[in-house]
Structure 1
Amino acid sequence: MFEYVEFPVLPIVKAHLIVNCILAFLTLLVVGLRLVARFSSGAGLWWDDYLILFAVPQALAMLVIQGMWAPMGIGFPITETMPNLSHILKMLVAYELIYATSISTIKISVLVFYLRVFVNRGLRLATMAALTFVGLWTVGNTLQVFLVCRPFARTYDPSVEGECGDQVASFIAIGAFNIVTDIIILTLPLPTIWSLKMATPAKLGLTGVFLVGFIVSVIAVIRIVTLTKLDLENLTETMIWADFWSTTEPNLAILCVSLPMLGSLWSRCTARRGTSKIGYSSENATGNSGFSKLRRNPVDSQIPLEDLYAANQQVHYQSAVAAAATPEPDHMAPLHRDADSGSEVALTEEPHKPDSGGGIRVQTKWVITHD
């Protein structure tokens, strides 16, 4: 273990560390519940889950560095902390790299989740474009750590002869692109959601689920504001808030993107036994609307919500019009939930109503197949 001059931990620094420790604990708890929800639904893990699991130790590593910095004089003038400056700067290099990879991993996890859930071609293409943009942003974020100073050793050792670019400006630029990618990612599915034929309250609910990540964007904006007040000539005294918000952001991001995944687990913990169901019912002939509605039905025309989130699936939509005929018994309704073999589920079939003169029946099906 390296040696350093120990300073008393300032109350504000201690408070920041406690807050981030609590946040990290909540994040671990939610991620654990996310895994329980995935396994209990029978869906198992997919790439978006693995990416979050990869991001968790990175976010915790930033918290560890924050804790290691605390007794090194964070909040004290650099004239007093100069003996520790080399150690602080070396950890700052690691801190920047971990921040870049953790935030990127979380963004990619969300985008991969979109590819798993949505089958709309336009949205999938937009998601692939966003993935490319995030990849380029990650490369740029990583390169600036190594290229901002020449030679690289000057980044963590001011005694080395050389020159450095405006590091604070590069931090702010990277942070600005971070916010732009957040907005792009969070708004990508909204047009698709609002084009669905479902009740407005249901659309608002789904929109809220996807927009919960804007909390992280607010933190990212606050982080940029604190970066504008960062003075590398007096690093230890001016880095208090930048250090705090930079550690908060990835942990909060993991928490926010994992919370919506707990829906099926919540359903199991309530009076509704089993998985959440999505059903479709058409308005009757005298109704004023032809839009579909969300409903919960314990009989046929059901589909487990987690089946929509199963990996390697293809979803097809089919609508058919046929003359009324004697309906098949309920036990003949197609309802297969094998996540491995795929399923064909009648979501919108109208219950048969006796009619002396016959009539026309409209039947709509979603067919979900798994590779």
Structure 2
Amino acid sequence: MPLAVPIENGLQCSILISSAIALALVTATVGLRLLAKHQFKGWDAGDLCALGAFVANTALHVLLILLVKYGAFGFHVQEIYARFSPDNATFFFKGIMAFAMIWNVTVCFSKLSVLFMYATLFVQESLLRWGRYIGIFVITWNVADIIAALVICKPIARNWDLTVPGTCGSQPKFYTSMGVINIVTDVAILGLPLPYLFSLQMPLRRKIMATGMLTIGVGTWVITIYRQTTLRNLDFADMTHAGVLATVLSGLEPSVAIALACLPQMRTLFVRKKPASYGYSSYSSRDNMAVPRDGEWTIQLRSLDGDSKELHGIRVKTTWDVVSDKPEGRDEEAEK
């Protein structure tokens, strides 16, 4: 372990502060999510993925803090060699390679937690099938990125020691492609349930509320897109100084994504009276309709096969009764 460097400039402080905020945010939101699900129905695969994302996110930001303290993150490379030690620079470049790999693990668990949440909310086979396809792609992409981070330089030691004979691929292209695919998968995941949601027979206001809850992750796109703009002119030869903003944004992005993905699951903690649930299932716009009962709306939607599905973590006070708008005799005639 190299000697610690002093904390003396604004770039170092910005890294430490952003990591502290990210750690606190994810710890609080994941903790509340797990508490809510434990009180309600117990943990499921989505909650376990959220827990995995929490562990990986914690490792990600602890690594950033160590890079500041022992890797001289925030100083120019030349200043590191002049004031401190080559060991500090070596520690940084080893750490930044590990950062890319841990980032992929964090993002993978975060996206899978959302896909598993859809599996608890929807019963349509087509949505579940597309969710599996997207999940397989996300896992494959993140594993490929981890491998690429290891082999982008040959031999591997050239990642942190440029005096070692060998070659390296284009790091700007590597990080840019990571960001682009990240946005594409986000669009696919957040857009997946929308056609099914808007086919439901419920008031437009409720559809908008549910859409907002399920697409709240759009907030991370601002960070992702802005980070992509910082990569174009990034000087990778002076990554210890020039890469501060891009790295901070890369650390904040999955943290915000995890926190936003947990918000819908925390709702039950703040609902005083346990309301009836509403489920997102496959509903026919012709065969099913909702009617008010006793002055309040009761949501209890049923799928075409007669099974009802609860929406875990998203609770509303209004409920619906689902009835058929066909004359009673038609169903009997159809059965004959």
TM-score band, normalised by shorter chain: 0.7 to 0.9
Residue 64 of structure 1 aligns with which residue? Answer: 62
| 1:217 alignment partner AA | W
Out of 228, 232, 235, the position equivalent to 1:231 is 235
- So what's the TM-score if we normalise by structure 2? 0.82
- So what's the TM-score if we normalise by structure 1? 0.75
Residue 18 of structure 1 aligns with which residue? Answer: 17
Higher strand content, 1 or 2: 1
- Write out per-residue CA displacement over residues 273-324 of structure 1, whole angstroms, 9 at most, x where no aligned residue: 2244449xxxxxxxxx998458797999775xxxx9xxxxxx74358xxxxx
Question: 1:298/1:81 Cα in 2 relative to 1: closer, same or farther (>3 Å)?
Answer: farther
Q: 1:292 and 1:15 mapped to 2: Cα distance?
A: 54
RMSD: 3.2
Q: Is the 8 A contact 1:194 1:203 kept in 2?
A: yes
Aligned pairs (5 A) from 1:11-90: 11-41=10-40, 43-71=41-69, 72-82=71-81, 83=86, 84-90=88-94
Q: Is the 8 A contact 1:264 1:275 kept in 2?
A: no
Residue 348 of structure 1 aligns with which residue? Answer: 322
Corresponding position: 1:161 with 2:165: yes
Aligned pairs (5 A) from 1:187-336: 187-268=191-272, 273-278=273-278, 292-293=289-290, 316-317=303-304
Q: Is the 8 A contact 1:278 1:295 kept in 2?
A: no
Q: 2:63 and 2:148 mapped to 1: Cα distance?
A: 20
- Write out per-residue CA displacement over residues 229-280 of structure 1, whole angstroms, 9 at most, x where no aligned residue: 3212111110110121111111111101000111222213xxxx2244449x
- Write out per-residue CA displacement over residues 14-64 of structure 1, whole angstroms, 9 at most, x where no aligned residue: 1342133123212211111111211211x1101000011011011111111
Q: 1:65 and 1:191 mapped to 2: Cα distance?
A: 40
Corresponding position: 1:152 with 2:156: yes
Structure 1 residue matching 2:43: 3-state secondary structure:
coil
Q: 1:11 and 1:183 mapped to 2: Cα distance?
A: 35
Residue 101 of structure 2 aligns with which residue? Answer: 97
Give how far 1:9 is off. 3.5
Q: Is the 8 A contact 2:53 2:106 kept in 1?
A: yes
Identity within the alignment, %: 28
Structure 2 residue matching 1:243: 3-state secondary structure:
helix
Corresponding position: 1:138 with 2:108: no
- Write out per-residue CA displacement over residues 82-132 of structure 1, whole angstroms, 9 at most, x where no aligned residue: 322111011112111100111011111111221222111221121122112
Which is further off, 228-237 or 196-205?
228-237
Count of residues paired in the alignment = 309
Q: Which has the higher contact order (CA 8 A, sep 6+)?
A: 2
Q: 1:21 and 1:56 mapped to 2: Cα distance?
A: 14
Q: Is the 8 A contact 2:52 2:109 kept in 1?
A: yes
Structure 1 unaligned segments of length 5 or more: list them.
280-288, 309-314, 320-334, 340-344, 351-359, 365-371
Q: 2:15 and 2:92 mapped to 1: Cα distance?
A: 18
Which is further off, 19-28 or 250-259?
19-28
Residue 186 of structure 2 aligns with which residue? Answer: 182
Q: 2:184 and 2:169 mapped to 1: Cα distance?
A: 24
| 2:246 alignment partner AA | A
Q: 1:187 and 1:59 mapped to 2: Cα distance?
A: 25
Give how far 1:194 is off. 0.5
Q: Is the 8 A contact 1:229 1:238 kept in 2?
A: no
Question: 1:190/1:296 Cα in 2 relative to 1: closer, same or farther (>3 Å)?
Answer: farther
Structure 1 residue matching 2:304: 3-state secondary structure:
strand
| 1:155 alignment partner AA | N
Structure 2 residue matching 1:348: 3-state secondary structure:
strand
Q: 1:225 and 1:118 mapped to 2: Cα distance?
A: 36
Q: Is the 8 A contact 2:29 2:262 kept in 1?
A: yes
| 2:248 alignment partner AA | F
Q: 2:151 and 2:295 mapped to 1: Cα distance?
A: 61
Question: 1:34/1:149 Cα in 2 relative to 1: closer, same or farther (>3 Å)?
Answer: same
Question: 1:151/1:297 Cα in 2 relative to 1: closer, same or farther (>3 Å)?
Answer: farther
- Write out per-residue CA displacement over residues 336-367 of structure 1, whole angstroms, 9 at most, x where no aligned residue: x9x9xxxxx994259xxxxxxxxx669x9xxx
Which is further off, 291-300 or 213-222?
291-300
